[in-house]
Amino acid sequence: MKVQQKNTPCQLCMSRKFSLFSDVSEPHLCQLSDNKNLITHKKGQILFYEGTKPLGVFCISDGIVKVYKTASNGKEQIIRLAKAGDFLGYASLLGEEAYSNSATIVEDANICFVPRESFLKVLAEDNAFHQRVTKALCKDLGVMESKLTDATQKSIRERLAFTLLKLSETYGIDGNEGEKINIVLTREEIAGIVGTATETVIRLLSEFKKDELIDFEGKKIIVIDKKGLARLSDFYG
């Protein structure tokens, strides 16, 4: 974990433009930029642990981070995968609680750390920003409701199919034989997203491949038949 020069000010940061900071005013942007720290993280490094106290928020410049809770059986339930432009840790900070989850680097990442005070100052002074944060929280809440409902009412097969569709939506790049999910996840991590055992994921992925819904290219998954996966995932009720 090495601290880099603050060579990219927030003002010029490309991924900021897709983030909650997109429309923050120039002076506030300076305030953020002057106080942030860009840190380079390697795959496997832990950004923060559930139960510890947030000292600021993280803003992903590039890379992938998994946000997860560790269940009492030791398994990781992945809450979400965060990518460039996404914020981490702000809900716990604003909730004035310890982190409700942990975050670990899935793909090498450059992440800015914005200390608590800077973040809260901008939040307090820039009402439009506060509104965007509120709106984001509300949307996240709606997403979590859907995830909970899916977790209790859908089968693992349905959930895995749905997970693959969502991943291809977010990380998909077109190829000659289908859409490649351009992110490396272990079977165990996919199991963590779906909420099941690793072996079950392995078996189902093999089945999906046999049924020509997906294919493998190295460690990456190619989605061949989106409609088939949508049908399987009970996308139409």
Binding residues for DNA, per CB under 7 A? 73, 155-157, 186-188, 195-200, 202-203, 205-206, 216, 218-219
Total number of residues that touch its own copies (CB under 8 A): 43
Of 23, 34, 117, 145, the one binding its own copies by CB under 8 A = 145
55 binds its own copies (CB under 8 A): no
List of residues 6+ apart from 148 with CB closer than 8 A: none
Alpha carbon distance 112, 191 (integer Å): 29
Does residue 144 belong to the site contacting its own copies (CB under 8 A)? yes
Q: Cβ closer to its own copies: 7 or 127? A: 127
Closer to DNA by Cβ: residue 219 or 231: 219
State the SS3 of 116-145. Answer: HHHHHHHHHHCHHHHHHHHHHHHHHHHHHH
Candidate residues 15, 19, 31, 92; the one interacting with its own copies per rule CB under 8 A: 92
CA 17 to chain centre: 17
Tokens encoding 111: 């992440």
Q: Cα–Cα distances in Å, from 59 out to 138, 167, 225?
A: 19, 21, 34
Span near its own copies by CB under 8 A; candidates 3-11, 17-25, 135-143, 164-172: 135-143
Binder of its own copies out of 134, 170, 186, 206 (CB under 8 A)? 134
Distance CA 176, CA 3 (A): 40
117 part of the interface to its own copies, by CB under 8 A: no
| Cα–Cα distance for residue pair 52/79, rounded to 1 Å | 18
Does position 71 bind its own copies by CB under 8 A?
yes
Site for its own copies in 184-223 (CB under 8 A): 194-196
